[in-house]
Amino acid sequence: MARKKIIAGNWKMNMTPSEAVELVNTLKPLVATDEADVVFCVPAIDIIPAMEAAKGTNIEIGAENMYFEEKGAFTGEISPNMLTDAGVKYVIIGHSERREYFAETDETVNKKVLKAFEHNLTPIICCGESLTQREQGITIDWIRQQIKIAFLNVTAAQAATAVVAYEPIWAIGTGKTATTEQAQEVCKAIRECIGEIYDEATAEAIRIQYGGSVNAATAPELFSQPDIDGGLVGGAALKPDFGKIVNYK
């Protein structure tokens, strides 16, 4: 069975609740499609108003982060139950900005991934290499390590429903998109790694996105690659251009 594309916006720390409603209202006619799953991952405080604004559309509202404990003395954190109670189905885990500025590691990513599955949330698991790692020729080794740790103790049935976002750090917010060949090469390596950990069927089922300066011009070629099942889009997800990215064909 062909994998359905999944195109997700990552709003990062942008948009107040009222701006979020405005943006959902602007984008909803532009992103209407049955061909791809469309997800807006928004700041926690925007989830409920965005969810209201997206009612009756094909837009799913997702979260940008989540903690790996159920509840308790973790000031400032958001629990899985808070997300599911608000109607959230997708959550970004381990974005490179979380790793860089908020000390997330492959180990905490794994804990969050396991917790997300426990609550029937679909994790969008981020991985990616730095420019130094790419220049040293260790990209694939690095990504394989990130994937192996992220999926520790995840069952095949769970893994088959996961989304992985390959986001080279040097391509995020820089306007420097990876070439189609670079993106396809790594997404293929991720699928092979999943095949080694689990089996062929799981590798075929899992959806792998590319992220890093995706725009309306680069999306069509990227998303037509055999191992790229859509994108995780930052800057361009806040603009009407996101409609063109979703309807890239």
Using CB under 6 A as the criterion, which residues of the chain lie in contact with ligand PGA when the complex forms? 10, 167, 172-173, 211-214, 232-236
Catalytic residue among 60, 64, 97, 167: 167
Catalytic residue among 95, 97, 104, 129: 95
Q: Which token pair is 174?
A: 């820089």
Of the two residues 79 and 207, which places its CB atom closer to ligand PGA in the complex?
207
In the residue annotation, 95 being an active-site residue is answered as yes
Of the two residues 43 and 212, which places its CB atom closer to ligand PGA in the complex?
212
Of the two residues 64 and 227, which places its CB atom closer to ligand PGA in the complex?
64
Minimum CB distance to ligand PGA, residue 133 (Å)? 17
Minimum CB distance to ligand PGA, residue 70 (Å)? 27
In the residue annotation, 167 being an active-site residue is answered as yes
Q: How many Cβ atoms sit within 10 Å of the Cβ of residue 118?
A: 12
Q: How many Cβ atoms sit within 10 Å of the Cβ of residue 14?
A: 16
Minimum CB distance to ligand PGA, residue 222 (Å)? 12
Minimum CB distance to ligand PGA, residue 167 (Å)? 6
Of the two residues 59 and 214, which places its CB atom closer to ligand PGA in the complex?
214
Enumerate the active-site residues: 95, 167
